[in-house]
Structure 1
Amino acid sequence: MTTRANAPAYMPGFGNHFSTEAVAGALPEGRNSPQRAPMGLYAEQLSGTAFTAPRTENRRSWLYRLRPSAQHPAYKPFDQGRVRSGPFHEAPPSPNRMRWDPLPMPKQPTDWVEGLVTYGGNGDPETLSGTGIHLYAANRSMVDRVFYCADGELLIVPQAGQQVFVTEMGRVDARPGEVVLIPRGVRFRVECDGEIRGYVCENYGALFRLPDLGPIGSNGLANPRDFETPVAAFEDVDRPTECVQKFGGRLYATTFDHSPLDVVGWHGNYAPCKYDTAKFNTIGTVSFDHPDPSIFTVLTSPSETPGTANCDFVIFPPRWMVAEDTFRPPWFHRNVMSEFMGLVIGEYDAKEGGFAPGGASLHNCMSGHGPDQASYDKAVVADLKPVKIENTLAFMFETRMPIRTTQWAQTSPTMQLDYDDVWTGFEKGRVK
């Protein structure tokens, strides 16, 4: 049985303190851990940062649950499937540009955990630096199984199908165009009514947050009020439930004799949330030149080097293009930052064909890339009237370290071996 609070489905905010209970009176008054918690519940603090982190950085929540989360037998190794983790050493790093067709939907019954596939990443979860990049394709709900990641927080980008993330702290319904952020250590299962697919950025580094706005000022990009956090819900289920965790780069599992999604009330600032990218306030030029993609940053995981992110989550949503005497698509470029790109819907304005929704591309550190010839030829002769780019949503996981691909990603039948050919037809410039 699942019980939910009699309240709106979500509470708006991001990084704020929340207080929610599925049953009135579940939260104690005045103190976090009284001698006896209300209703015989068990108090548990879930800390996402070190105890002594500065107040502005500190993330933690108090959970009040039916049973202690410590009540389970030992974890044992679980089949890794195609999940890999930092440090990524199973295949040599490659400077080559790569692009993949969409991950095929499974033919056999496959849940979210079984459908995870690692494409690559960098850093090491044990050093709290870097990222893991995964895709998933599934066609059935997780039943009597939950998952959590002890190595990092999970930024999930649904690409196909309605998806429900049933977490310890409440239910998060998500569809393509929305993104879901599940904190490190929070247990959840994924439910669906059919085929689903999407992308996952596993962030080993500093927690994702909104980027500083600088000269943009006080308004723009993603607004804190649009990040939605679930109200409390709990399951009072007394039957075996498998709990799979990712720890130190490996998968492990144990079996609870009950559902561990049994938090009756919680309060704090460490919780799952979702964001609808349609609410992103896009910033762009109103004069000339194509601005840097940093203006499309939704969330950032900063590093110890100011302005150089462990990982940025960047989107390219529908928007107006009005720049005059300007090459409007992304120009040819080489970056110190490495770019893993995905496409949720539509077509990306710098690529005509080949880059399909559910597919992916990788342009590593200093690898030259940019528009293909068809996009270039169209852009240099376009009538530069105001035009709206519509019915599209592309994104990037951008990171300061080269992304090492897995052996599976380098040898997958979805790899487009002719990707380099999109740049082979350009004529030499006419210099007299």
Structure 2
Amino acid sequence: MTDILSELRWRNLIHQVTDEAGLAKLLSEGSQSVYAGFDPTADSLHVGSLLPLMMLRRFQRAGHRPVALVGGATGMIGDPSGKSEERNLLSADQLEKNVAGIASQVQSFLDSDGDNAAQLVNNFDWMKNFSYLNFLRDVGKNFPVGVMMGKESVKSRLTSEAGLSYTEFSYMLLQAYDFVELNKKLGCRVQLGGSDQWGNITAGIDLGRRMGTPQLYGMTSPLLLTSDGRKMGKTERGTIWLSAERTSPYEFFQYWRNVDDKDVMTCLHYLTEIDREECESLAQELENNAGAAVAQKRLAEWLTQLVHGDAGLKSALNASQILFGGEISDLSDKELTQIFADVPSKELPKSSLEGEGLWVVEAFKTSGLVSSNGEARRAVQEGSAYINNQRQQDIDYKLTRADLASESVMVLRRGKKKYALLRFV
């Protein structure tokens, strides 16, 4: 067993603990079951989910038994914490799909073998057996309304314009009962969560006390926020997901590669297993030579490998090199579009690549990289015209389907950095 609390302290990962001395004593007595919950609001987890996933992973590596709970039951309602209005309720089919997607992702982060193998549970498995009346009699009678009313997530919604429905009001009771059930089934006595889950966690501990469990403990971590208070994992194009189908390894890599200097050390502490000595070295490098982005590169590589594996990291690095003139090969339309998301593009009929093909001079003029055929001729003759990052100096060259970089996309470049895409449809 290793001292997990010391590890969490230097990483600044402890925000609140219900009883730190009691928790430290419990953890020192041997391997403990520790759980964190994940809401199935989509069929993939996102960047915000990395922190609780890494917390479970850290506890497992310290010798404890991680329990990942997917909220198949609570997901039918939606957590009101941090929300200004009620969530849209998911259909049963969509919820089932989401639970399956999240379950497979969670398992890839945790070790499912050995004495402290991770366990994956779904709270629908025990909630489905309750009738409404039985739940009120067996559980609800132990949950004072005053406790619920005192929680910030409830108070803020009660005074808001949107209000709080009875359905969402019940969420806290359902989640609190999860802690009681996991203690009964798995001997779980520790719950982890973000700082916005403090009310739900303490509600579960209070319910456990009233229902006769041993002393339960809760710990929260800071939320993953930027230095100016925004949630991380959002871009102009939307959420950064852990699923490669939703967010490509390249796009995932680039998000972390471009993290602000003010935030990169926090991300390295919160989200990676890079040790203290290396983190201190990266912090010094950041201070001495911020422009080199050494810390950002290390963060991006570590997280991309963790989430997408060796193949995903290799793909992301290859894609990154393309913007600097690297070889373009074995990429799909989708991947090229993501790499060149900010590059102007033009559409042409695919038939223009048939027969003799499309004159390279005309292609560059059409792309907008040059303003005239004469300028295009000069670019080709002087060696500053590239097709799929391959220099083209034949003024009479005709482009055909063989010159496509993917199913329907061709990449044109003038000089070192001016790119355009031609899409053949």
TM-score bracket relative to the smaller structure: under 0.3
* Larger gyration radius, structure 1 or structure 2: 2
Normalized per residue, the structure richer in helix is 2
Q: Which one has the bigger strand percentage?
A: 1
TM-score where L is the length of structure 1:
0.26
